[in-house]
């Protein structure tokens, strides 16, 4: 505990100013505390009070370091003015600070959530385009192996192998889009899904996925 040098009230160790009178506190147990005792005027003498001026003591708010960026902020702040996060950490100082921080972040990230839904749709379409291209490639290979005695079957197997490769790359692009990782590889995979021409509709899925992924580049973490 720390004792106030003005009124003698006990305060927690981490408090800089007394919660009772606003005076500075100290941890020194040997300090002599002199309480202020009001004096009454002598009897029969009329008391006159002249107010010359009131000296108002300006007391700086306690500071703490933000748990995210390390900069000093007011200890009663719920949002860091430098990084925009809760300075008390991911769970907040208490239930009230966590509630206020969640309300603040929900307002700030509403536009981001709309963009995220677009990227999610792009990832799903890239997955569908990849699956269609993969299925078309397997179909080409099976048909080519079935009619291996004919000359055109070799070309059919080659096209099937290319479609299988494009399908796998497009599926990887869909996974990358859903995880918001590897923008360049995801964009390349979406192009492959479009070029896979999975039963023709795969081209449309791949084209839409390519547009949505290209428009949401800022959401990718890498």
Token pair, residue 176, equals: 């990358």
Would the pLDDT of 208 be above 70? yes
Given a cut of 80, is residue 83 above it in pLDDT? no
pTM for this predicted structure: 0.49
pLDDT in tens, 133-186: 999 999 998 888 887 766 567 788 888 999 999 999 999 999 999 988 899 999
Helix (H) or strand (E) holding 130: helix 110-146
Backbone angles phi, psi at 7, to 5 degrees: -110, -10
pLDDT tens figures, 5-26: 777 777 777 666 666 666 777 7
Which residue pairs from 22-26 have beta carbons closer than 8 angstroms and sit at least 24 positions apart in sequence?
A: 22/57, 22/59, 26/2
| Residue 144 pLDDT | 82
Long-range contacts of 175-180 (CB under 8 A, 24+ apart): 175/123, 175/127, 176/123, 177/119, 177/120, 177/122, 177/123, 177/126, 177/209, 177/213, 178/120, 178/123, 178/124, 180/119, 180/219, 180/220, 180/221
- Phi, psi for 24 (deg, rounded to 5): -70, 145
pLDDT confidence of residue 113: 44
Q: Is 211 helix (H, G, I), strand (E, B) or coil?
A: helix
* Burial of 150 (C-beta count, 10 Å sphere; 0-12/13-18/19+): exposed
> What per-residue confidence (pLDDT) applies to 33?
47
Residue 73 pairs in a beta bridge with 64
pLDDT tens digits for 27-63? 655 444 445 455 555 565 454 444 444 444 445 668 8
Q: State both tokens at 155.
A: 């070309």
């Amino acid at each position: 505990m720390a004792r106030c040098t003005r009124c003698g009230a006990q305060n927690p160790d981490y408090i800089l100013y007394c919660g009772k009178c606003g005076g500075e506190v100290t941890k020194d147990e040997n300090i002599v505390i002199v309480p202020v005792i009001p004096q009454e005027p002598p009897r029969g003498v009329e008391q006159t009070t002249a107010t010359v001026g009131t000296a108002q003591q300006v007391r700086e708010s306690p500071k703490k370091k933000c748990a995210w960026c390390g900069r000093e902020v007011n200890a009663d702040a719920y949002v860091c003015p430098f990084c925009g996060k809760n300075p008390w950490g991911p769970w907040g100082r208490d239930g009230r600070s966590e509630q206020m921080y969640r309300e603040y972040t929900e307002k700030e990230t509403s536009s981001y959530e709309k963009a995220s839904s677009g990227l999610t749709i792009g990832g799903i379409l890239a997955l569908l385009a990849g699956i269609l291209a993969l299925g078309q490639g397997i179909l080409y290979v099976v048909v080519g192996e079935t009619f291996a005695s004919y000359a055109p079957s070799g070309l059919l197997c080659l096209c099937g192998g290319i479609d299988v490769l494009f399908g796998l790359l497009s599926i990887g692009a869909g996974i990358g889009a859903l995880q918001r990782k590897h923008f360049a590889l995801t964009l390349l995979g979406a192009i492959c899904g479009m070029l896979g021409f999975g039963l023709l509709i795969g081209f449309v899925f791949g084209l839409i996925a390519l547009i949505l992924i290209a428009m949401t580049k800022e959401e990718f973490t890498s």
